[in-house]
Chain A
Amino acid sequence: MGNGVWKDTWLITGRNIKTTLRNPFSVIPNLIISAFFLLVYEAGLSGIADLPTFNGANYLAFILPVSIVSAAIGGAGGAGQGIVKDIENGFFSRLLLTPASRLAIVLGPIIAGMLQLLVQTILIICVGFLLGLKVETGFLGILFVLLIAIGWGLAFAGYSAGVALRTKNAQASQSGTLIFFPLIFLSTTFVPYELLDAQWLKIAATINPTTYIFESMRSVLIDGWVFWEMMQGVIAIVVVCTITITFAAVSAKKAVSRG
């Protein structure tokens, strides 16, 4: 009797996907907001792309990463919400009482969150294409953008799962997503770094890992294959994932341990 970690993870992830599909309204608002961002920023701000600093870049390609990242952070919050819901309705305990791998119990919702994010990002990119998006590096570039989006989503799924497991409280894990605002907006959100006006904002953008995510996505969308531009995003993801996944793992250990 009993399965390995992978079979358990597969089973529990499958169940989380089912739950998400049956609650479309946990996904749709986030998706609409991200598409809305894309639409209004493009419509309202695309004129600034005529500035020389933009070097003739397409503003749509410039702003697309903002929409993708905001969807990623919002969507990743779903992993935490799912865990809190399970804790509240007792299903989490029911899983703990089975021989299922403890790792699988925590990984399931995180992986399901990732897949949800992947679908969201693809939809947003489709909206981008409908609005006339052109990608310098073509299909492979899109794959890179998806990879970065998933990586960044994983970082946030880890964070939201960690908060959920620690607080076991829906409100707390909801307010945990407040971190969304400084991360999205204290960055090179609307204009390139050179055009940021306030010194404090420049400092914030330099510290903010999201800046490197934006820049790496923009590099493949606008400039073509520039290795170091791409790597800064990858490095930011590795660093942040290391921190948040450790946080999730420690919180999970506490939640499933029997102290």
Chain B
Amino acid sequence: MNGKIEVEHLSKTFKKGDVRAVKDVSFQVEEGEFFAFLGPNGAGKSTTVQILTTLINATGGKALVAGHDVIKEPEEVRRYIGVALQETGVDPDLTGRELLELQASIFGFDKSGAKERAEQLLGIVQLTKDGNRRVGNYSGGMRRRLDLALTLVNEPKILFLDEPTTGLDPSNRMAIWKELRRLNEENGTTIFLTTQYLEEADSLAHRISIINAGEIVATGTPKELKAQIGNDLITMTFKSNEDLTRAEHKLVEKMGENEVIQQNGRLTVYVEDGAKQLLEVVRVLDEENIQVESVNLTSPTLDDIFLKITSEQKEEE
């Protein structure tokens, strides 16, 4: 048993509609690492989590979680992992405390051990005073926190979290982030997190894989990923749509198709040396007599990387 996740050539094709949700995905997560799977809706994040947590079988490839094969030894895998799925798994008719005690008993705690563990976890997710209320009366944020507590009952070596903060208000989101950081730093728990939020991956994860349309399109530390697309970004807005179109056309001609992206009326150019190339860009626009409204020179955020990679993919298709 170890705290690693090792995935080789993992694929999943759903029979219904012949959908290839995950295509030949390989990656490795080290013990104690905080790893994020970043991608839009339908990218294959949840399917990957379901395979790695033994809920569904892969149609190809191999995955070891905590040193055990998810297909051949699912019982072993379940002992060492904690899983919070996108939809919380709580029974509204029980109280938070009862649910935690039941979960602990299923994991083999005796009666007093289960009581103790439940009390402890209620404290950790700050639900001690709501522990005896039925879950049906909890708010969305409280349910999420209880769901997280349920995943921690067996002191998992590896924690899987499928979009744990989607739909949460900022204060609940912060509470969950804080707890995840603590688990990773203090207990050395390996964390596999999926998210659509770039800032979430950026602020929490040591390493990120960007997944789109069932494939991993980039992997690295947040810093590496940012460097991968160039050092600087030039972002512009224009007086009219006509100017925008003409500018895009000209700049693509000059800088190459992959370096220019248009989104929501803004044009972004990815460049190596911003200070030098800014002048060049302005000169091109000036020659064409294009009316610029604003120009900004910035360092890339994960949002920019994400946008660039997914738009490159669209062009290939």
Tell me the smallest distance from the CB of B17 to a CB of chain A, in Å. 15
Q: Is A99 an interface residue (CB 8 A)?
A: yes
Which residues of chain A are near B98, meaning CB under 8 Å? 18
Q: Is the CB of A99 within 8 A of B79?
A: yes
B89 is an interface residue with CB less than 8 A from chain A:
yes
B108-A3 in contact (CB<8A): yes
Interface residues of A in 1-54 (CB under 8 A from B): 1-3, 8, 11-12, 15, 18-19, 22-23
Which residues of the other chain, B, contact A246 by a CB distance below 8 angstroms?
none
B75 A93 Cβ-Cβ under 8 A: no
Measured CB to CB, the closest approach of chain A to B61, in angstroms, equals 14
Given A23-B93, A91-B91: A99 and B102 interface contact (C-beta under 8 Å): no
Instruction: Write out the residue numbers on chain B whose beta carbons fall within 8 Å of the beta carbon of A8.
Output: 106
Comparing B28-36, B51-59, B268-276, the segment that makes contact with chain A is B51-59
CB of A100 within 8 Å of the partner chain: yes
Chain A interface, number of residues (Cβ within 8 angstroms): 27
Which residues of chain B have C-beta atoms less than 8 A from A97's C-beta?
53-55, 78, 81, 83, 85, 89
With A2-B79, A15-B94, A86-B91 as contacts: A96 and B55 at CB distance below 8 Å: yes
Q: Answer yes or no: A55 CB below 8 A from chain B CBs.
A: no
User: How would residues 56 to 82 of chain B score, 1 for a CB under 8 Å from any chain A CB and 0 otherwise?
Assistant: 110000000000000000110011010
Q: Which of B's residues lie within 8 Å of A, judged by CB?
A: 53-57, 74-75, 78-79, 81, 83, 85, 87-94, 98, 102-103, 105-108, 134, 150, 154
Structural contact, B83 and A89, CB atoms closer than 8 A: no
> Do the beta carbons of B106 and A11 come within 8 Å of each other?
yes
In the complex, A223→B43 CA distance in Å?
Answer: 69
Q: Assess the B54–A258 pair: CB atoms within 8 A.
A: yes
Least CB distance from B138 to A in Å reads 12
**B107 CB contacts on chain A under 8 angstroms:** 1-2, 98-99
**Residue from the list A1, A90, A257 in contact with B88, Cβ < 8 A:** A90
With both beta carbons as reference points, the residue of chain A lying nearest to B15 in the complex is identified as A259
Complex interface: chain A residues within 8 A of B108 (CB): 1-3
Min CB–CB distance A128 → chain B (angstroms)? 32
Known contacts A1-B108, A2-B108, A258-B56; is-contact A99 B91 (Cβ 8 Å): no
**Residue in B closest to A90 when the chains form the complex, CB atoms:** B89
Is there an interface contact between B93 and A18, defined as CB atoms closer than 8 Å?
A: yes
CA distance A3 to B53 in the complex (A): 20
Bound CA span A92–B88, Å: 11
Q: Are A94 and B89 in contact (CB under 8 A)?
A: yes
| The 4 A-B residue pairs with the shortest CB-CB distance in the complex, in nearest-first order | A94-B89, A90-B89, A258-B57, A1-B108
Question: With A and B bound together, what is the CA distance between A18 and B98 in angstroms?
Answer: 10
Which residues on the B side are within 8 Å of A90 (C-beta)?
Answer: 85, 87-90
Q: Is the CB of A98 within 8 A of B103?
A: yes
Q: How distant is the Cα of A22 from the Cα of B98 in the complex, in angstroms?
A: 13
Q: Which residues of B contact A259 (CB under 8 A)?
A: 56-57
The chain B residue with its CB closest to the CB of A100 is B106
- With A and B bound together, what is the CA distance between A22 and B136 in angstroms? 12
Return chain A residues, CB-CB under 8 Å to B79.
1-2, 99
Instruction: Please give the distance in Å from A20's CB to the nearest CB on chain B.
Output: 9
Considering only CB atoms, which chain B residue lies closest to A22 in the complex? Answer: B93
Is A93 a contact of B55 with CB atoms below 8 Å?
Answer: yes
A93 to B151, CA, bound (A): 12
For the complex, what is the distance from the CA of A97 to the CA of B84, rounded to whole Å?
10
Chain A residues near B88 (CB-CB < 8 A): 90
- Interfacial chain B residues near A2, Cβ < 8 Å: 75, 79, 107-108
A152 to B90, CA, bound (A): 32
- What are 12 A-B residue pairs whose CB atoms fall within 8 Å in the complex? A3-B108, A11-B105, A15-B102, A19-B93, A89-B92, A90-B87, A92-B89, A94-B90, A95-B89, A95-B106, A99-B107, A257-B57
List the A residue with the shortest CB-CB distance to B109.
Answer: A1
Chain A positions within 8 Å of B90 at CB level:
89-91, 94
Known: A18-B98, A99-B107. A258 touches B93 (CB 8 A): no
With both beta carbons as reference points, the residue of chain B lying nearest to A19 in the complex is identified as B93
Given contacts A1-B108, A11-B105, A258-B55, contact A89 B91 (CB under 8 A): yes
**0 or 1 for each of A171-209: is its CB under 8 Å from B? (1 = yes):** 000000000000000000000000000000000000000
Cα distance, A96 to B55, chains bound together (Å):
7
Give the complex CA separation of A8 and B108 in angstroms. Answer: 9
Q: Which residue of A lies closest to B98 (CB)?
A: A18
Closest to B51 in A: A258
CA distance A8 to B107 in the complex (A): 9
Nearest CB of chain A from residue B66's CB, rounded to whole Å: 13
- A12 CA to B105 CA in the complex, in Å? 10
For A98, give its contact among B56, B87, B93, B106 (CB under 8 Å): B106
- Please measure, in the bound complex, the distance between the C-alpha atom of A92 and the C-alpha atom of B85, giving whole angstroms: 12
A1 to B98 alpha-carbon distance, docked (Å): 20
Contacts of B154 on A, CB cut-off 8 Å?
1
Q: How far is the CB of A85 from chain B (nearest CB, A)?
A: 9
Residues in B with CB closer than 8 Å to A12 are: 106
Residues of A within 8 A of B150 (CB): 94
Residues of B within 8 A of A22 (CB): 93, 134
CA–CA, A97 and B107, complex, Å: 11
